[in-house]
Amino acid sequence: MNKITPYNNSRDMMLLDQKEHITREEHEKILQACVEVYNTKKASAYNQYIMERNYFFLLCLWNTGARVSDVCQFRVGNIDTYKGCITFDVSKTSKKHIVMLEETFILAFHNYVQKWNIKGYLFTKFKDINADVTTQEHIKRRQVNMFIAEYGEQAGITRNVHPHLYRHGIAVDMLNNGVAIEFISKFLGHSNVQTTANFYAKITPEICMKFIHDKMRIN
């Protein structure tokens, strides 16, 4: 049986300072930077596709909490718009993982897929609507690292920005908003709650005292 701390209310946990992450505000700035970088390039269907591909990739990183290597391999069929979820294979564990999605994300998915007539991988190196879907290669992590670093610089973020900061970012954002650690653990696909707690939060003496005061006080 997994050992769970007796006081696991996310709002009363102290976030680990050393866990670097993207904040929601930084995520929004990077999205804006994606558009700004496109505006500096020559107007063309290709550049428009690259911008919208990268923009939706950023949305996937933030909304699914998935590792970049898994997002690179997302396919249209992974997203069930009726159930409002995405089901994908986690390369690290070879297990299927399901994440529920917001309506705004589903709408963005619809717009992206329909506009570019995407039928296979969501994120291809070069979009050719006349090519057979089996011939379209998905983008690789190296490409993602490059455009996220570029957008981070454009957004004025001075530290090094890389894709995995998104996975940390959504977890910390949830903790900051009082989401239960058990839900965050399930969202990230961790094997147990303790793994999530060890990554993102710690129990301090002050928290223990608060637990005793709030939950164990004898009236």
pLDDT band of residue 45 (cuts 50, 70, 90) is confident
Last residue of one domain, picked from the residues 110, 134, 160: 160
Task: Extract the tokens encoding 26.
Answer: 């930084």
DSSP H helices in 65-159: 68-71, 103-116, 141-154
Last residue of one domain, picked from the residues 145, 160, 175: 160
pTM: 0.82
Q: Which of 185, 183, 167 is nearest to 60 (CA)?
A: 167
What single-letter DSSP state applies at residue 133?
G
What single-letter DSSP state applies at residue 124?
B
Q: Are residues 17 and 28 in the same domain?
A: no
Beta partners for 100?
Answer: 85
Range of the domain at 175: 1-21+167-219
Q: Are residues 74 and 146 in the same domain?
A: yes
Q: What is the mean pLDDT of residues 180-207?
A: 76
Contact 199, 170 (CB under 8 A): no
Q: Which long-range contacts (CB under 8 A, 24 or more apart) does 50-57 make?
A: 52/112, 52/115, 52/116, 53/112, 53/116, 53/123, 53/124, 53/127, 53/139, 54/147, 54/151, 55/31, 56/108, 56/109, 56/112, 56/122, 56/123, 57/122, 57/123, 57/139, 57/144
Task: Select the more confidently predicted residue: 44 or 14.
Answer: 44
Task: Give the integer Cα–Cα distance in Å for 160 and 143.
Answer: 15
Last residue of one domain, picked from the residues 110, 127, 160: 160
Looking at the structure of the chain, the number of domains it has is 2
CATH for 52: 1.10.443.10
Contact 90, 189 (CB under 8 A): yes
pLDDT over 80 at 201, yes or no: no
Q: Are residues 74 and 151 in the same domain?
A: yes
Distances (CA, A) of 80 to 76, 90, 99, 102: 9, 17, 10, 12
Task: Select the more confidently predicted residue: 54 or 212.
Answer: 54
Q: Are residues 133 and 204 in the same domain?
A: no
Q: Are residues 204 and 219 in the same domain?
A: yes
pLDDT over 80 at 202, yes or no: no
Cα 208 to chain centroid distance, Å, stands at 31
Q: How confident is the model at residue 134, as a pLDDT?
A: 58
Q: How confident is the model at residue 173, as a pLDDT?
A: 87
- State the average pLDDT for the chain: 83
Task: Select the more confidently predicted residue: 101 or 12.
Answer: 101
DSSP H helices in the chain: 24-39, 45-64, 68-71, 103-116, 141-154, 164-176, 181-188, 193-200, 205-215
Q: Render pLDDT for 102-157 as a digit per residue (tens, 0 to 9).
A: 999 999 999 999 999 888 999 998 766 566 555 688 999 999 999 999 999 999 99
Task: Give the integer Cα–Cα distance in Å for 41 and 54.
Answer: 15
Q: What is the mean pLDDT of residues 50-74?
A: 96
Q: Which amino acid is at 33?
A: A
pLDDT over 50 at 24, yes or no: yes
